[in-house]
Chain A
Amino acid sequence: MRDRTFAPSRVLIYLIVLLIAAAWLAPLVVVVLNSLRTNEEIAQASMIGWPKQWAWSNYVTAWSGFCVAETCAGIRPYMLNSALVTIPATIFSTMLGAVAGYAVSLWRFRGDNWIYGIVTLGLFLPQQMRLLPWTIVLRDIGLINTLAGLVLIHTIQGLSFTTLFCRNYYVAIPHELIRAARIDGAGFFRIFWRIIMPLSPPILIVTVIWQFTHIWNEFLYGVTFTSGQQQPVTAALIALSAAVADIPQHGVQSAAVIIAALPTLLIYVLGGRYFVRGLTAGAVK
């Protein structure tokens, strides 16, 4: 048997794929290397280079040392804030999206397509446009400058996406299944829990990954609707890099970026396998 891996076309394909991978990974490599170099070394040499001495202290400073104005607690408290916003908002928006997607796809009722259309319209509204309405809502219900306010925002705004995802997935479920269950006397929620939920893991993983990444990385609402100690990690990261009268703290910044990216990275590593599978499940029925 001839070894196919040595076919020229295959080598070319691998070469191209390797090149693309290298291009994609290059920025990450620079960030990782810079996270281990001292600021002076970066400033005195170049942004790209091998560490002369391994500055692990960057990670210590990033985690618990650097100052955002008067507060010198590093990235740690802000990581906690982000978790306190991201985890509940991801769960709520995913669950509500699943119910809504189920309702508009399988529970036909008058105007269901309209409702679906209006909900997904939310995808097209620029973030900036929604700032003032949210300000008024949060003011009136007394949640301005609180993490709970952010959870509310992300839950509701996430609905557009989660509903879209779940609806497109549930549309593929045969209606006979639902009809049979209704004949057996099952109601809306019984069908949801007993039939829809067990079929849902692929799409739920997709929405969880999507929502988690999106909410974790969100900056504008986090910085507008919270103050000081309440802010999410993205705000702290920008705070670390926004000095005008100073040399940018590239070493500590890089370390902080890597730490802040770990949760989303973890989610991808754990669930990435299901991501594409879930997204394409509806498409290739």
Chain B
Amino acid sequence: MPITTTRRRLLAGSVATLALPAFARAQGAVKPRLTVISQWSAGSDGAAITALGKKFEEKGGVWQHSPVPGFTTEMMNKLRAQIMAGDPPACSQLKGPEIAAWSKIAPTVNLDALVAAAGYEKVVAPDLARLHKPGGKWISLPLQIYSTNMLFLSKRAMDKAKADKIPVTWADFNGLAEKMKAGGVAYPVANGGTRPDDGQKFEASLAGISPTAYRAAIMNLDKKALEGPEIKAAFAQVRKISDWMDPNVGAQHFSTNLKRFIDGDMGMMIMGGWAQGVLRNAGFKFEEFIIAPGPSDNSKPVFLLNADAFIFWQRKEPDLQAGQTLMAQLVMDPAIQTMYSQITGSIPVRTDVDLSGNGWSDGQRRTGAALKEAIASNQAVLSLAHNMAQENGMTAAMIDVITEYVKNKTIKPEQAAIRLAEAVEGAR
């Protein structure tokens, strides 16, 4: 027995001595290089990824970024073409369950060792962590988080309603909307007319009524939960919301109506955290609106997670591999996450980043605090409207039902609940 141990040790030792210099040589000799595909090209999104690239270059890397303009479909087309051509990017933007789906198409890099070294797992919301390690291994890294159910309140609409309390539950919200209507606010709920916009109204309603039902019905597609009373209650709440919206808004981006919101012609907006950046960049002042977590009937914040992430594709080239290591380390770095979120207005994925300092807005601090509380009370769930809860096909089937319901007021909540369950069955 002692002999085998020695032999094994000897063997391990010699392998290590042989491998180590080679490893060190590989690390030292090649300049890390990274090919990246993302859809971030313009505005603060473009600025943030440009800044990330600068940091990559400061660390001695070669940054080769191909922004794919447009929306997710175009980027997926591009990614598919690159993979088919045998030339996947070393790293690409991808989010939600699509990470698991795409990881079956081409081999990905196992990032477990790097994640462990960075102590990343402990500081990421559990539901979020699961998305990024399908099959139990980390193959992608979340970079920044938005909450899709933030509540924006127009100060002028509040004045018209003679209200100063931020609504916490849906009952509060509905009461305030009534007051606004009575006080002369034409449309107590501000709206755009896009699919995600409609989807957000539903997911905020359901998650605010019962995060447990949301998790079961929307994330796990549990049949009983999909036919449960909470779904009907959520559709009933969506109907109230849609009655307070301007029906004459076509398929418009929410930003089209920001002026009406600030003017107090529209009162409250349920939108992702990114809206504060949009408001700020449109020249509106922080004093003109309030940001709070969306309504939650148990008074504890509910957080609908929308997280952008990078997935890492296997490459043989040593310089690309070194680039992937460097990129992974950067993405998980608290300082980099701080820099990134401060540019875009999101919050860092790492829950241990301190948001009290300069450079963070009150909205970001409130979002960060809401995330911590929501994780503690198991109320951080994944957004359906922003492709975090389900794969694209399933999401599309569900949003179809929701967006039709928002626009067609002859559909009853009970009917909508049945349609939603049927759509899920059909898309399975």
Interface residues of B in 3-39 (CB under 8 A from A): 38-39
Q: Give Cα distance in the complex from A46 to B86, angstroms.
A: 48
Q: Give Cα distance in the complex from A44 to B43, angstroms.
A: 18
CB distance from B254 to the nearest CB of A (A): 11
Which chain A residues border B408 with CB–CB below 8 Å?
none
- Inter-chain contact B42/A70, CB cutoff 8 Å: no
Which chain A residues border B53 with CB–CB below 8 Å?
70
CB distance from B288 to the nearest CB of A (A): 11
- Inter-chain contact A239/B69, CB cutoff 8 Å: yes
- Inter-chain contact B43/A246, CB cutoff 8 Å: yes
CB distance from A252 to the nearest CB of B (A): 10
In the complex, residue of chain A having the shortest beta-carbon distance to the beta carbon of B256? A47
Q: Give Cα distance in the complex from A249 to B278, angstroms.
A: 11
Q: Given that A70-B53, A224-B78 are known contacts, is A245 also in contact with B278, CB under 8 Å in the complex?
A: yes
Partner of B44, one of A220, A236, A241, A243: A243
Binary flags per residue of B108-131, CB closer than 8 Å to A gives 1, else 0: 000000000000000000000000
Interface: B409 (CB within 8 A): no
Chain A interface residue count, Cβ-Cβ cutoff 8 angstroms: 42
Partner of A247, one of B63, B86, B281: B281
Which chain A residues border B251 with CB–CB below 8 Å?
none
- Inter-chain contact A228/B65, CB cutoff 8 Å: yes
Q: Give Cα distance in the complex from A112 to B385, angstroms.
A: 52
CB distance from A226 to the nearest CB of B (A): 9
Q: Give Cα distance in the complex from A244 to B47, angstroms.
A: 12
Q: Give Cα distance in the complex from A182 to B384, angstroms.
A: 69
In the complex, residue of chain B having the shortest beta-carbon distance to the beta carbon of A236? B69
Binary flags per residue of A229-271, CB closer than 8 Å to B gives 1, else 0: 0010001111111111111110000000000000000000000
Interface: A131 (CB within 8 A): yes
- Inter-chain contact A131/B45, CB cutoff 8 Å: no
Q: Give Cα distance in the complex from A244 to B345, angstroms.
A: 11
- Inter-chain contact B84/A40, CB cutoff 8 Å: no
Chain B interface residue count, Cβ-Cβ cutoff 8 angstroms: 45
- Inter-chain contact B77/A224, CB cutoff 8 Å: yes
- Inter-chain contact A68/B84, CB cutoff 8 Å: no
Q: Given that A135-B84, A223-B74, A247-B281 are known contacts, is A242 also in contact with B69, CB under 8 Å in the complex?
A: yes
Interface centre among A39, A47, A67, A246 (most CB of B within 10 A): A246
Q: Given that A235-B69, A242-B41 are known contacts, is A144 also in contact with B81, CB under 8 Å in the complex?
A: yes
Interface residues of B in 74-106 (CB under 8 A from A): 74, 77-78, 80-81, 84-87
Q: Give Cα distance in the complex from A205 to B71, angstroms.
A: 35
- Inter-chain contact A132/B68, CB cutoff 8 Å: no
Interface: B259 (CB within 8 A): yes
Q: Give Cα distance in the complex from A44 to B71, angstroms.
A: 26
Interface: B171 (CB within 8 A): no
- Inter-chain contact A243/B85, CB cutoff 8 Å: no
- Inter-chain contact A239/B41, CB cutoff 8 Å: yes
Which chain B residues border A235 with CB–CB below 8 Å?
69-70
Q: Give Cα distance in the complex from A121 to B307, angstroms.
A: 43
Interface residues of A in 54-72 (CB under 8 A from B): 66-70
Spell out A's residues near B (CB within 8 Å).
39-40, 43-47, 66-70, 131-132, 135-136, 138-139, 144, 219-220, 223-225, 227-228, 231, 235-249
> Which 8 residue pairs spanning A and B have beta carbons closest together?
A246-B43, A243-B43, A239-B69, A43-B282, A239-B41, A227-B66, A139-B85, A243-B42
Other A-B contacts than A238-B74, A245-B274, 5 sampled, CB-CB below 8 A, are A139-B85, A223-B70, A223-B77, A246-B44, A247-B278
